[in-house]
């Protein structure tokens, strides 16, 4: 059958208005689902044959025909013709052109509504898994960089004002834990997509004796959907994936913001590799953190993708509405953007130079040991408010004279209070200030080492969790 008539053309007396064909078509973007569509159609055909709904020989011809189309698409030889509204029509038409009548039996007991829901779930499952793996690669890079710099001290900030010194490894690991939660969200999104809609037909189910469990097993779905109306209307799984992508992008964006700040000459904490920076067309001296900025910038797009689908779905009556065709492009955009961003950030971190001395100098400035100096006086019996006042006066003088707290001699400290003794100097040694934060999860080296072990164990377990679930539908 080579006619240009739409596959649903029987009850129509006129062709679709030409100028609207492109408007209504999803083929230009949903062709990306071709592999999922062929997997779903093969499973459906196998089941139709096994149930005796179509002759077994037809089922075989359909499966072989679909394999041939897959090979053609893979080789780039398949013509995607806009006369076909979407990838489902496109493949069915090509199948029928190739094998004739058997091809016309494929759509028995099926609607594009349950077909597209199935394809899209297969796609989202595979993408969630692939992204979860990429997130784990970045978690691995964070662990490695933290591990390579176990004793580098840096200033920690609140309100972007120097607050208390930290281990650089501790700061990096903060992002590890964000990504560990992102991994969980992606796995949850994969789970949310893990039910088979096929067999729901247009909205009410079908009178053919389908075996939905067989199709679910062939496609690797954990369950079949419980309600045919819900099955064809549900896009929660896509929202879950978009949300998981959004939060992951949010975390990458915050990390990139810090890389941008740290690589500025004002901070100088890190130097990004040339391979992960760009120059200026006019200013020869410039080396810009473009890729970090782009990750930060692209985060807004991904949030937009989530918002767009939420709004698309909010007023839809059951069951399928054509509005739902708008579900795909945002998901494609979000998963591609996140994938590229994860790669970029992993590369930036793995290749950056860590300027330990600059970080340390930064940690000595800003009077970040002031709390510890006050605590020293409290330990000697002085009421905290008095200690706060004494140390406040020392800070004022240090600030006026451009000095660090660590540069004060014991005699100079004693001029402010005779409670100071030789141990006071040790109290404000920057490494000791860090080493004193020994609460679980704190920045002391012993705790950060423990945290690194915990992170390593968790990453190994999470990576193990994903192994064996490999699906190749991306
Ligand atoms: N291209 C459509 C989509 O992506 C496929 C489902 C069409 N179903 C229908 N009843 N028009 O949503």
DSSP 449-461: HHHHHHHHHHHHH
Place of tokens 């699906």: 471
Q: How far is the CA of 431 from the centre of ligand 1 (A)?
A: 63
* pLDDT tier, 468 (very low <50, low <70, confident <90, very high otherwise): low
Find out whether 428 and 406 touch, Cβ atoms under 8 Å. Answer: yes
CA distance 263 to 271: 5
Residue 82's pLDDT is 84
Dihedral sign for Cα 139, 141, 146, 148, please. positive
> Among 264, 273, 280, 407, which one carries the catalytic annotation?
280
Model confidence over 294-319: pLDDT tens digits?
999 999 999 999 999 999 999 999 99
Whether residue 319 has its Cβ less than 6 Å from ligand 1: no
Q: Which domains does the chain have, with CATH numbers?
A: 22-108 (1.10.275.10), 113-150+159-355 (1.20.200.10), 370-428 (1.10.40.30)
Q: Is position 407 annotated as part of the catalytic site? A: no
Q: What is the mean pLDDT of residues 394-410?
A: 94
Model confidence at 10, in pLDDT bands (50, 70, 90)? confident
Average pLDDT estimate for 219-246: 98
Instruction: Please state, in angstroms and rounded to a whole number, the distance separating the CA atoms of residues 279 and 286.
Output: 5
Of 33-37, 77-81, 424-428, 469-473, minimum mean pLDDT range: 469-473
Please work out whether the CB of residue 112 comes within 6 Å of at least one atom of ligand 1: yes
Q: Looking at residue 19, what is its pLDDT?
A: 85
Are the C-beta atoms of 237 and 121 separated by less than 8 Å? yes
Query: What pLDDT sits at residue 240?
Result: 98
pLDDT at 4 over 70: no
Which atom of ligand 1 lies closest to the CA of 26? 1
Q: What is the DSSP string of 372-391?
A: HHHHHHHHTT--HHHHHHHH
pLDDT of residue 474: 47
What is the structure's pLDDT at 352?
A: 97
Q: What pLDDT does 469 receive?
A: 53
Indicate the pLDDT class of residue 2, thresholds 50, 70 and 90.
Answer: very low
Please state the atom number of ligand 1 nearest to the C-alpha of residue 325. 12
Model confidence at 277: pLDDT above 90: no
Give the mutation target among 124, 325, 330 for probing the ligand 1 site: most ligand atoms within 8 A of CB: 325
For residues 40 and 115, the answer to whether their CB atoms sit within 8 Å is yes
Encoded tokens for 269: 């904490």
Surface-to-core class of residue 296, CB atoms within 10 Å of its CB (0-12 exposed, 13-18 middle, 19+ buried): buried
d(CA 87, ligand 1 centre) in Å: 10
| Residue 379 reports pLDDT greater than 70 | yes
312 Cα to the center of ligand 1, angstroms: 15
The pLDDT > 90 percentage for the chain reads 88
Q: Is position 46 annotated as part of the catalytic site? A: no
Task: Please identify which of the residues 3, 19, 159, 281 carries the catalytic annotation.
Answer: 159
Give the angle subtended at the CA of 37 by the CAs of 35 and 42, to the nearest 5°.
100
Containing H/E element for 184? helix 168-192
Lowest mean pLDDT among 206-210, 241-245, 276-280, 415-419: 276-280
* Model pLDDT for residues 191-203, shown as the tens digit of each residue: 999 999 999 999 9
pLDDT at 471: 46
Helices (H), 193-315: 212-219, 228-233, 236-262, 290-313
Give me the mean pLDDT over the 232-239 stretch: 98
Whether residue 1 is predicted with pLDDT greater than 50 in this model: the reply is no
413 C-alpha to ligand 1 centroid (Å): 77
Mean pLDDT calculated for residue range 350-374: 94
Provide the 8-state DSSP code for 13. S
Q: What is the per-residue pLDDT for 3?
A: 57
Average pLDDT for the chain: 95
> Rounded to two decimals, what is the model's pTM?
0.94
pLDDT band at 282 (very low <50, low <70, confident <90, very high): confident
Nearest CA to 415 out of 429, 398, 400 is that of 398
8 Å CB contact between 277 and 290: yes
* pLDDT given at position 162: 93
Q: What is the pLDDT of residue 473?
A: 52
Q: Is 158 strand, coil or helix?
A: strand
pLDDT of residue 460: 97
CA 12 to centroid of ligand 1, rounded, Å: 18
Tell me if 116 CB under 6 Å of ligand 1. yes
């Amino acid at each position: 059958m080579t006619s240009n008539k739409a596959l649903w053309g029987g009850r129509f007396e006129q062709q679709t208005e030409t100028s609207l064909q492109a408007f209504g078509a999803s083929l230009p973007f949903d062709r990306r689902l071709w592999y999922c569509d062929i997997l779903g159609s093969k499973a459906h055909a196998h089941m139709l044959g096994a149930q005796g709904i179509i002759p077994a020989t037809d089922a075989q011809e359909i499966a072989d025909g679909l394999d041939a189309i897959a090979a053609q698409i893979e080789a780039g030889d398949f013509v995607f013709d806009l006369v076909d509204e979407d990838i489902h029509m496109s493949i069915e038409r090509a199948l029928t052109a190739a094998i004739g009548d058997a091809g016309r039996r494929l759509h028995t007991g099926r609607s594009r509504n349950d077909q597209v829901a199935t394809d899209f779930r297969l796609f989202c499952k595979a993408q969630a898994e692939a992204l979860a793996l990429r997130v784990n690669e970045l978690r691995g890079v964070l662990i490695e960089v933290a591990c390579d710099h176990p004793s580098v001290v840096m200033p920690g900030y609140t309100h972007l004002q120097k607050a208390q010194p930290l281990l650089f490894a501790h700061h990096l690991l903060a992002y590890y834990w964000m990504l560990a939660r992102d991994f969980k969200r992606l796995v949850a999104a994969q789970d949310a997509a893990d039910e088979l809609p096929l067999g729901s037909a247009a909205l009410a189910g079908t009178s053919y004796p389908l075996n939905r469990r067989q199709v679910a097993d062939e496609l690797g779905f954990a369950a079949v959907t419980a309600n045919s109306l819900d099955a064809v209307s549900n896009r929660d799984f896509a929202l879950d994936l978009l949300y998981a992508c959004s939060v992951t992008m949010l975390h990458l964006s915050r990390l990139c913001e810090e890389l941008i700040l740290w690589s500025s000459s004002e901070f100088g904490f890190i130097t990004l590799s040339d391979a992960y920076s760009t120059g200026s067309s006019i200013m020869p001296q410039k080396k810009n953190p473009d890729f970090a900025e782009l990750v930060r910038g692209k985060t807004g797009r991904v949030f937009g993708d989530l918002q767009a689908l939420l709004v698309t779905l909010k007023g839809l009556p059951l069951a399928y509405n054509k509005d739902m065709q708008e579900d795909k492009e945002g998901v494609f955009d979000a998963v591609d953007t996140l994938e590229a961003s994860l790669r970029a950030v992993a590369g930036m971190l793995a290749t950056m130079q860590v300027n330990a001395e600059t970080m340390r100098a930064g940690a000595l400035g800003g009077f970040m040991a002031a709390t510890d100096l006050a605590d020293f006086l409290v330990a000697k019996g002085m009421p905290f408010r008095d200690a706060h006042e004494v140390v406040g006066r020392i800070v004022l003088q240090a600030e006026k004279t451009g000095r660090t707290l660590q540069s004060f001699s014991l005699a100079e400290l004693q001029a402010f209070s005779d409670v100071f003794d030789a141990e006071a100097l040790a109290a404000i040694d920057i490494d000791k200030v860090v080493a004193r934060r020994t609460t679980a999860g704190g920045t002391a080296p012993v705790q950060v080492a423990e945290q690194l072990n915990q992170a390593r164990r968790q990453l190994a377990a999470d990576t193990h969790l994903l192994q064996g679930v490999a699906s190749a539908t991306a």
